[in-house]
Amino acid sequence: MASKQETAGRQMGYKCRIAGVLLLLLTSIAALIAVAVIQDTWKFKEYSLEYGIVIDSGSSRSTVYLYEWPGEKQNDTGVVTEIKNCRVKGDGISEMKVDPQKDAESWKAFQVCMDDIINAIPVAKQNATPLYLGATAGMRLLHEQDEKRSNDVMASLRKYLSSLPVNFKSASIISGQEEGLYGWVTVNYLMGNLIEKNVWNAYIRPDGAKTVGSMDLGGASTQIAFAITDNLTGPDYMPIKLYGYPYNVYTHSFLCYGKNEAEKRILDKVIQESSNPAYIINPCFPEGYNATIKASTIYDTECTKKPRGYNPDQEYFMVGVADSDRCLSMVKSIFDFETCSSSLCSFNGVEQPPVTGDFMAYAGFFYTARALLKNGTEDPDDFNSDFDRFNASVRQFCNSHWEVLRSEKTWISPRFLKTYCYSGHYMFSLLADGYKFDKDTFENINFAKQVKSTSIGWSLGYMLSMSNMIPSEVKEILPMTNPVFASLIFLFSALTIVTIVIVFILLIRSCF
Ligand SMILES: *[C@@H]1O[C@H](CO)[C@@H](O)[C@H](O)[C@H]1NC(C)=O
Ligand SMILES: *[C@@H]1O[C@H](CO)[C@@H](O)[C@H](O)[C@H]1NC(C)=O
Ligand SMILES: *[C@@H]1O[C@H](CO)[C@@H](O)[C@H](O)[C@H]1NC(C)=O
Ligand SMILES: *[C@@H]1O[C@H](CO)[C@@H](O)[C@H](O)[C@H]1NC(C)=O
């Protein structure tokens, strides 16, 4: 009897002990979870914001962008956002060093923007804020035309920028391919296509990730960039590794095929076809719009060939006739769609693999596509991504009278409004005949100027690359553990293991 009671008592004792140990186990697990949660919460509190400035010096203007991101720990991808931008008044920097008085105004305009941007950064952070300037096609052209002047402009800019109370890093002319590639990086970074955090807080490549192609239409050049799966090589294929994952990005930049330079080439064709400079029929100008154009605005560039006996002050009188078909043939005459020594070319003999996947078309592409809309809504769903409808709206625009356009499109300034018949045709030819988008693939083009309220352009990708914020290896961006967190995790993990061992021993002992 006694022994039976004893056994029962001992069993009771074991049960209590097991219950106690289990309680301890649960407590340590709870503590572990609590520490992890607290760490996660702390993480958000610990953020100190970091800033970076990029000046995009394009052919027609400079724009200063201010980016912000949470420092110390990466939150997610797409954390870098644009908080402010400032358009520097006046022309692009390629117009500098001609007229000292104009230069004085340009420096003043730069100062206005830089003050505005720097004042948006907390004083304590200003000295650590990196500043980059990248100049694109306008300066590439000037460099070809007048190397000394281009070097002088860059040197003055460096001198000015290093006098500012921020961390000036570099000012340089970036190549067309870099411009294309950085645009591609920007688009895919903002869309979260390159990396994401999984449930274990580790960064991984998004499941089944596809990248998006990028198309930029600037004033002096246009860029296309998209990733291909084939192992093709050549000057236009750039193998890059981002977060440990390799991409083969096809990218090409066409100098002189930006919206403004291409228009000069077309105006030159229009002039060449006419015999009377005082009465030139321009099929790309709307009917009812006439203009007097100075020769220097067309010929003072490396993109057009100066006529015999060129006089920069000569004036041409152009009469708009709104003839869509003739405008289109003028537009097509600046492309060479025939020459090709590879299996497939875009134009001018440039090899290009077939366009694949979705594309983001921004800058001039966006503005032109928007101009063709009936009204100025910016709802992306309104954009014409239908091949035939796009073609039809260009035609309709081109056949409209100037007064009709003025009253319908009050949201476009007349300065730009007169150019959209030409640029509609130009853009459609570039996409359809050049890049070879067809009725199916044209639907994959999205026209936009922003993603997550950040402007699409090469500047964000440039800053991310220059500051090593997109490492080629993934391990560098694993979340950092702080020592307190690590020791707490260690303590409670040890406790959990010890508890499990005790439970195990007790269970085994209770068997005997
Ligand atoms: C970090 O991510 C969380 C959730 O994804 C978001 O709510 C928070 O605003 C982000 N913080 C920053 C600074 O981006
Ligand atoms: C443009 O020129 C044509 C031909 O000279 C003329 O008939 C027309 O009235 C002009 N239009 C304007 C708006 O000047
Ligand atoms: C233009 O705007 C109006 C109101 O803002 C809207 O109802 C209409 O659908 C828009 N689109 C066209 C093509 O008119
Ligand atoms: C655009 O439309 C015109 C007229 O409808 C047609 O002749 C032309 O072939 C179309 N362009 C393309 C590339 O389909």
- 166: tokens are 């921020």
13 among annotated binding-site residues: no
Question: Range of 493's domain?
Answer: 2-46+481-510
**Alpha helices, DSSP H, located in 47-146:** 100-119, 123-126, 137-145
CA 452 to ligand 1 centroid distance, Å: 13
Give the chain's length. 512
- Output the pTM of the full model: 0.81
pLDDT tens track for 264-307 = 999 999 999 998 989 999 999 999 999 999 999 999 999 999 99
DSSP codes of every residue in 335-370: ---S--SSS-BSSTT-B-PPP-S-EEEEEHHHHHHH
Indicate if 18 and 58 belong to the same structural domain: no
Indicate if 53 and 149 belong to the same structural domain: yes
Instruction: Evaluate whether 172 touches 135 at the Cβ level (below 8 Å).
Output: yes
Residue bearing the CA closest to ligand 4, atom 13: 432
Q: Does residue 179 carry a catalytic annotation?
A: yes
Residue bearing the CA closest to ligand 4, atom 3: 391
Chain position carrying tokens 């078909």: 325
pLDDT at 72 (0 to 100): 58
Instruction: Evaluate whether 68 touches 120 at the Cβ level (below 8 Å).
Output: no
Q: Which ligand is nearest to the CA of 374?
A: 3
Pairing outcome for strands 167-173 and 245-255: unpaired
Ligand 1: which atom is nearest the Cα of residue 70? 13
Indicate if 41 and 61 belong to the same structural domain: no
Residue 187 is assigned to a structural domain of this protein = no
219 among annotated binding-site residues: yes
Is there an atom of ligand 4 within 6 Å of 495 CB? no
Can you state the angle between helices 420-429 and 387-398, rounded to 10 degrees? 150
Residue 165 is assigned to a structural domain of this protein = yes
3-class secondary structure, 391: helix
Residue 463 is assigned to a structural domain of this protein = no
Q: What percent of the chain has pLDDT over 70?
A: 88
Query: Which pLDDT band, with edges at 50, 70 and 90, does 206 fall under?
Result: confident
Strand ranges in 127-220 using DSSP code E only, listed in sequence order: 130-135, 167-173, 196-197, 203-204, 213-217
Last residue of a domain, one of 145, 172, 199: 172
Q: Which residue has the higher pLDDT, 376 or 257?
A: 257
**Alpha helices, DSSP H, located in 171-300:** 176-190, 259-272, 295-299
Q: What is the mean pLDDT of the chain?
A: 88
Cα–Cα distances (Å) from 437 to 328, 386, 391, 445, in that order, read: 17, 11, 13, 9
Last residue of a domain, one of 141, 172, 203: 172
- 333: tokens are 């005459």
Indicate if 82 and 64 belong to the same structural domain: yes
Instruction: Evaluate whether 280 touches 270 at the Cβ level (below 8 Å).
Output: yes
Instruction: Evaluate whether 221 touches 256 at the Cβ level (below 8 Å).
Output: yes
User: Could you tell me the end-to-end alpha-carbon distance of the chain, in angstroms, rounded to an integer?
Assistant: 19
Residue 289 is assigned to a structural domain of this protein = no
Indicate if 82 and 119 belong to the same structural domain: yes
Residue bearing the CA closest to ligand 3, atom 8: 375
Residue 346 is assigned to a structural domain of this protein = no
Residue 228 pLDDT more than 70?
Answer: yes
| 360 vs 350: CA distance, rounded Å | 21
CA 391 to ligand 4 centroid distance, Å: 6
Is there an atom of ligand 1 within 6 Å of 41 CB? no
For residue 113, give the CATH number of its domain: 3.30.420.40
Residue 21 is assigned to a structural domain of this protein = yes
Q: Which ligand is nearest to the CA of 80?
A: 1
Last residue of a domain, one of 157, 172, 187: 172
Indicate if 83 and 160 belong to the same structural domain: yes
Can you state the angle between helices 176-190 and 458-466, rounded to 10 degrees? 90
Residue 8 is assigned to a structural domain of this protein = yes
Element (H, E) at 283: none
Residue 73 pLDDT more than 60?
Answer: no
CA 288 to ligand 2 centroid distance, Å: 6
pLDDT at 480 (0 to 100): 45
**Number of domains within the chain:** 2
Residue 99: partners with Cβ closer than 8 Å, 6 or more residues away: none
CA 80 to ligand 1 centroid distance, Å: 11
Mutation probe of ligand 3 site: the residue of 370, 377, 382, 389 with most atoms within 8 A of C-beta: 377
Indicate if 19 and 53 belong to the same structural domain: no
Indicate if 40 and 55 belong to the same structural domain: no
Indicate if 105 and 24 belong to the same structural domain: no
Residue 504 is assigned to a structural domain of this protein = yes
Tally DSSP H helices, then E strands, for the chain: 16, 18
Q: Which ligand is nearest to the CA of 384?
A: 3
Q: Catalytic pick from 82, 178, 179, 351?
A: 179
Question: Which residues have any ligand 3 atom within 6 Å of their CB?
Answer: 374-375, 377
Indicate if 39 and 140 belong to the same structural domain: no
Indicate if 117 and 88 belong to the same structural domain: yes
Residue 395: partners with Cβ closer than 8 Å, 6 or more residues away: 324
Query: Which pLDDT band, with edges at 50, 70 and 90, does 477 fall under?
Result: very low
Residue bearing the CA closest to ligand 4, atom 12: 391
Candidate from 321-335, 382-396, 403-417, 476-490 with smallest mean pLDDT: 476-490
Residue 212 pLDDT more than 80?
Answer: yes
What is the distance of C-alpha 355 from the center of its chain? 19
Is there an atom of ligand 4 within 6 Å of 399 CB? no
Indicate if 41 and 59 belong to the same structural domain: no
Ligand 4: which atom is nearest the Cα of residue 387? 14
